[in-house]
Amino acid sequence: MGERAAAGGGKWVDVAPGRLSRWLANFGARHDSYREEGLTLIGGDGATATLYPPPGAGPVGTIAELIEQAGAPRRLGLLLARKGAVAVGIADGAELIVSKVDRNYVQGRTAAGGWSQQRFARRRDNQAKAAASDGAGIVGRILLPEVRSLVAVVTGGDRTAVDAILSVPQLAAVVALRTERMLEVPEPRHAVLVSAVAAARAVPVLIHEPAGAEGHRPGTAIG
């Protein structure tokens, strides 16, 4: 995962736990050293970088505590959904130990009008509901029995599809562990689910370059 623009300015980068120390050193080298204010780095040239704990990490107040917590093994639940495809898994540390991927056909939008458009819309709505129901069943089989051992549930893909799956009342215990951030992923497949484990464990960093600076890339993608 690389850089992505941040709402309100700046950019986000995701740093793998094992690369945090090196990333900090590189940030200092590129920005005339830095000082720490809580979880924010302030470079000598005015650049700033605010680090956020990854899902399931314990409370932290310093960069040293964040490094320790980010690298600690945690059991995470994962739910990815998009266009009728769903992938559910459990990660123990960096390893995906349980997974299930399924695909339901959901018809795309049509430009047709009149009765034809309404018929296609009803069909698409029924297909989406069936896909959500199947996805909820998978979540119920994979995550619900293990919910007490999970520290967080990380979702990704299309928010509407994920919300539909988790709207089932029986999944309330899973919803209670859902993190705010959603991962940006393509159509869920097993390989995408494996990659999502690294993304879920990564430390998000919000970077603001000094005024007028161009071309700096202090961020490091997950490797």
Q: What are the extents of the domains in the chain?
A: 4-54+202-208, 75-199
Q: pLDDT by residue (tens digit) across 70-106? A: 999 999 999 999 988 999 999 999 999 999 999 754 4
Cβ atoms < 10 Å from Cβ of 86: 28
Q: pLDDT by residue (tens digit) across 130-156? A: 678 899 999 999 999 999 999 999 999
Angle made by CA atoms 211, 64, 193, in degrees to the nearest 5: 85
Mean pLDDT lowest among 32-36, 112-116, 149-153, 180-184:
112-116
The whole-number pLDDT of residue 62 equals 97
- pLDDT classification of 222: cutoffs 50, 70, 90: very low
CA distance 197 to 208: 27
Cβ atoms < 10 Å from Cβ of 45: 15
Torsion of CA 82, 88, 90, 94, to 10 degrees: -40
Helix (H, G, I), strand (E, B) or coil at 3: coil
CA 68 to chain centre: 20
Residue 205 has pLDDT above 70, yes or no: yes
Which fold is adopted by the domain 75-199?
Nucleotidyltransferase; domain 5 (3.30.420)
Residue 35 has pLDDT above 70, yes or no: yes
Residue 114 has pLDDT above 80, yes or no: no
Q: Is 56 exposed, middle or buried (0-12, 13-18, 19+ CB in 10 A)?
A: buried
